[in-house]
Chain A
Amino acid sequence: MNDNIKMRALLKGEITEVKVLIGHPMETGRRKNDLEEVVPAHFIQLLTASLNGKPVLEAQWGTGISKNPYLTFHLRGAKVGDLIKVVWHDNKGQTGNGEASVSAG
């Protein structure tokens, strides 16, 4: 588990609410720094989530997702203790991952 990703998964009735917060600059490639130099694009392109190893969500992102991306999604059929994993890949080939066990909400 990386420290640049925070996750929480709460079972509320039939729905498990998964919240994900990732530390990432999400640079568009259009921003200029204080020296008027263009900051190269650096952004997450792909994020996948799985429940007990089965894929549940695939997100493709462009540069329009805000810095330090935030995501909530909902799962049906998950139980307390089930394992949710998230993996991301960015345009520079960097990757990160996190996991959370479903807890009672």
Chain B
Amino acid sequence: MQRRHFLGMSLASLLLLPLQALAALWNKAAFEAVTAPAARQHLQVASEQPSSEIEIVAPDFAENGAVVQVEVRSRIANTEAIAILVDKNPTPLIANFMFSNGADPYVVTRIKMAESAELQVIVKAGEHYFTASKQVQVSLGGCG
């Protein structure tokens, strides 16, 4: 009985391990934050300054908010990470991309937008944070 209990326990903990390892990496608090300022706080963005060295390519008008293609490029030296937020989504933080070993600070992805909103980009370069934004009008919201 004791042995069976022990085996059951170890199997359970083995199965749990990958999820726990993942949970340690994934910034749960930031991704579950319901306002953009709260998400920033959990990303530990201390202070940020606007930068024209961040290029955002996204449509002015998006017909379908379920799929909005966004392209972001940072020309800021030593860019380590690019975060994408949509201020009016139920959970504003969309993604955080971290680059290393010769990856260019550049990304194209497709995101959901609940309604017309400001697309915000935060770039981390060393201890400094830079930001840029673009307004996107959405005809049909895409946050089911």
List the interface of chain A (C-beta within 8 A of B). 15, 27-28, 30-32, 39, 45-46, 49, 51, 54-67, 69-78, 89, 93, 95
Given contacts A46-B26, A54-B101, contact A30 B94 (CB under 8 A): no
Looking at the assembled complex, report how far the CB atom of A29 sits from the nearest CB atom of chain B, in whole angstroms: 9
Query: Is there contact, CB below 8 Å, between B103 and A60?
Result: no
Contacts of B112 in A (CB 8 A): 28, 63-66
Query: Is there contact, CB below 8 Å, between A62 and B102?
Result: no
Contacts of A67 in B (CB 8 A): 66-67
How many B residues, CB 8 Å from partner? 39
Instruction: Name B12-70 residues within 8 Å CB distance of A.
Output: 18-19, 22, 25-27, 31, 66-69
Contacts of B120 in A (CB 8 A): none
Query: Is there contact, CB below 8 Å, between B111 and A64?
Result: yes
Measured CA separation A39–B112 after assembly (Å):
17
Query: Is there contact, CB below 8 Å, between B18 and A93?
Result: yes
Interface centre among A60, A62, A69, A93 (most CB of B within 10 A): A62
Given contacts A30-B143, A89-B22, contact A60 B107 (CB under 8 A): no
Given contacts A28-B143, A64-B94, contact A57 B110 (CB under 8 A): no
Query: Is there contact, CB below 8 Å, between B107 and A72?
Result: yes
Looking at the assembled complex, report how far the CB atom of A36 sits from the nearest CB atom of chain B, in whole angstroms: 13
Query: Is there contact, CB below 8 Å, between A65 and B90?
Result: no
